[in-house]
Amino acid sequence: MRTPQGLDIDLMDGAFYGGDPYPAFAWLREHDPVHFDEHNGLWGVATYELVRSVSTDPDTFSNAGGSRPCVAPVPMMIDFDAPEHVRRRRLVSAGFTPRRVRELEDRVRGVCDWVIDQVCERGSCDFVSDVAAPLPLIVIGDMLGVAPEDRADVLAWSDDLLRGQGTDDPVVLETMMQAFVHYADYIRPIIEDRRRTGRQDDLVGVLVHAEIDGDRLDETSVVHETLLILIGGDETTRHVISGGMAELQRHPEQRAQLLSSPVGVPRAVEEMLRWVTPIQTMARTATRDVELAGRQIEAGQEVVLLYPSANRDEAVFERADRFDVTRDPNPHVAFGFGPHFCLGNQLARLELKVMFEQLLARLPDLRVVEGAPLPRRQASFVTGIETMPVVFSPTERVGAAAP
């Protein structure tokens, strides 16, 4: 639809999310917070309270119809309701306990230093591909048993799978299907190895051998759950690193504040998560006819949770349209709400905190090349900056071990 201000709103259009959707979101929050997208035949909820309400009522708004709008469900926990969702989540959560995440900090810091070592002597790089992308891929790849020499392939498959979300382009869809086949062919031997050897020192081994009430996941389920972990842990963190650094460039006074007082980095990370909100949408399906904020939703209709709109809701965030690394409290919804709250949230926070600590310490004058365009991924699911050329004063390597 087109608003009276001439703003186009298409909840399935990647260009809508990859451009500047925030004026349209502001209009929706004020005038049409439960919006029916006639073109796509689905609803969108735009305010913080409505996103929370739908997210925390799985009896009325189900995940079992698929977590992606207009996309059929797949056999992974994000597309299940209780009790199956609870069972799978308990199995996967064994790999994301607070203790496991805390134990990763030294490893993550070493990876960050190795990543920076690859570019620090050059004085320039593409921040997205050279800095932001390697860290989450290496960390998640390690957790999934991905060999270092295979990381580039896994990253390419992850990218291709995301590009196929919410598109009807036959070429993109074919590439997405091929990426899934390649990933499945790659991960199945790892699953078989963990089953045969009894190894449980990575997430694949944990998923293969974990039991709850005598149940274990079959091979197909492990393939899909590991793929969910890969996409959820790779793309999203990458975009927050890139988007967060871009905002620090636009606000040099806030960057200077963090340089002088790195203790503020964890709070800054929360603001980066709110501001970037890499996951744009999730879907729920109404299980019954229900009225929501005065609008009548019919059973079987899909409801899209507009996370970036919720994270700019003026009713919750003071000066919501201002980036502020000192914002406190900051109850953002970058990790969702309710039973499907992101399992990997603490790992993502750790990676973001450590990477910005190391970047500020080692490349303190890093800046985006003046006038450089920052193209964003055109997607209705996960979006973020695709390339970002930066320059900085060359510095010496610290000699971090290759991960």
Three-class secondary structure of residue 212 per DSSP: strand
- CA–CA distance, 214 with 165 (Å, rounded to integer): 35
Cis geometry, peptide bond prior to residue 21 (ω within 30 degrees of 0):
no
Which residue type, as a one-letter code, is found at position 337?
A: F
Phi first, then psi, for residue 283 (nearest 5°) are: -115, 150
pLDDT band at 38 (very low <50, low <70, confident <90, very high): very high
Query: What pLDDT score does 396 carry?
Result: 97
pTM: 0.94
Residues contacting 268, CB < 8 A, separation 6+: 244, 254, 258, 325, 356
The segment with the largest mean pLDDT, out of 105-119, 217-231, 232-246, is 105-119
Number of CB atoms found within 10 A of residue 240's CB = 28
| pLDDT tens-digit series, residues 158-206 | 888 877 665 667 887 798 899 999 999 999 999 999 999 999 888 899 8
For 181-340, list the strands marked E by DSSP. Answer: 281-286, 290-292, 295-297, 302-306
| pLDDT tens-digit series, residues 345-392 | 999 999 999 999 999 999 999 999 999 999 998 887 889 999 999 999
Decide: 381 and 68 in contact? Cβ < 8 Å: yes
Q: The tokens of 317 are what?
A: 């965030």
Cis geometry, peptide bond prior to residue 170 (ω within 30 degrees of 0):
no
Q: How far is CA 177 from CA 85, 145, 161, 181, 325, in A?
A: 25, 22, 8, 6, 40
Number of CB atoms found within 10 A of residue 157's CB = 23
Query: What pLDDT score does 96 carry?
Result: 84
Q: How far is CA 403 from CA 58, 102, 129, 187, 338, in A?
A: 41, 18, 17, 20, 35
User: How confident is the prediction for the chain on average, in pLDDT?
Assistant: 93
Query: What pLDDT score does 193 carry?
Result: 94
- CA–CA distance, 193 with 204 (Å, rounded to integer): 10
pLDDT band at 43 (very low <50, low <70, confident <90, very high): very high
